[in-house]
Amino acid sequence: MAEFFRRQMFNIIAAVFLILFVAVWLAVLLRVGTWVPVAGLTAPALNGALVTAAGVMATSLGSLTASALGFTISEVKREQSEAPAGSPGGSFPAEVAAKLSGRIVAAIMVYMVMGLLVLVVWLVKGPASTDLIGAFALSLLGWLVGAAGVVFQTEKPAA
């Protein structure tokens, strides 16, 4: 049993982090999504610990996924530039995707799905939303713009 945990330690840490990320942001989304404005209040009050945890986790996951993508892209570009001329190579995006670990792919998918849910709540609730929701939604949009920039930049015309 100890050997199993030793072999799976990084997967367990990643899973716990992603589960906590989803749980914290679902709590925020439920609070904001179900909140009905009352006289004098334009947005729901959120617990300070929840705001801090949500902010730290969103920033951390966004940074981790962006850096993992950046390092992987850099590695693939370096390998392609060092490859002998005429050697077979796959498409750049496919090579990058193949080098990403399952943990990173899962983190990217979780970040994008939760971020898109946050963006929808922010757009639907408008002023009845919170600054926390708006900050994460804008952060996600920035992350997506960066990721899309890489995707479109690496697209090569067919020869």
- Write the secondary structure of the chain as one string of H (helix), E (strand) and C (coil): CHHHHHHHHHHHHHHHHHHHHHHHHHHHHHHHHCCCCECCECCCCCCHHHHHHHHHHHHHHHHHHHHHHHHHHHHHHHHHHHCCCCCCCCCHHHHHHHHCCHHHHHHHHHHHHHHHHHHHHHHHHHHHCCHHHHHHHHHHHHHHHHHHHHHHHCCCCCC
Q: Is the pLDDT of residue 20 over 60?
A: yes
More confident residue, 86 or 21: 21
Q: Tell me the pLDDT of the chain averaged across its residues.
A: 86
Report pLDDT digits (tens) over 86-95: 666 667 777 8
The pLDDT, as a whole number, for residue 81 is: 80
The pLDDT, as a whole number, for residue 93 is: 74
Q: Which residues of 19-31 are buried (b: 16+ CB within 10 A; e: fewer)?
A: eebeebbeebbeb
The pLDDT, as a whole number, for residue 98 is: 87
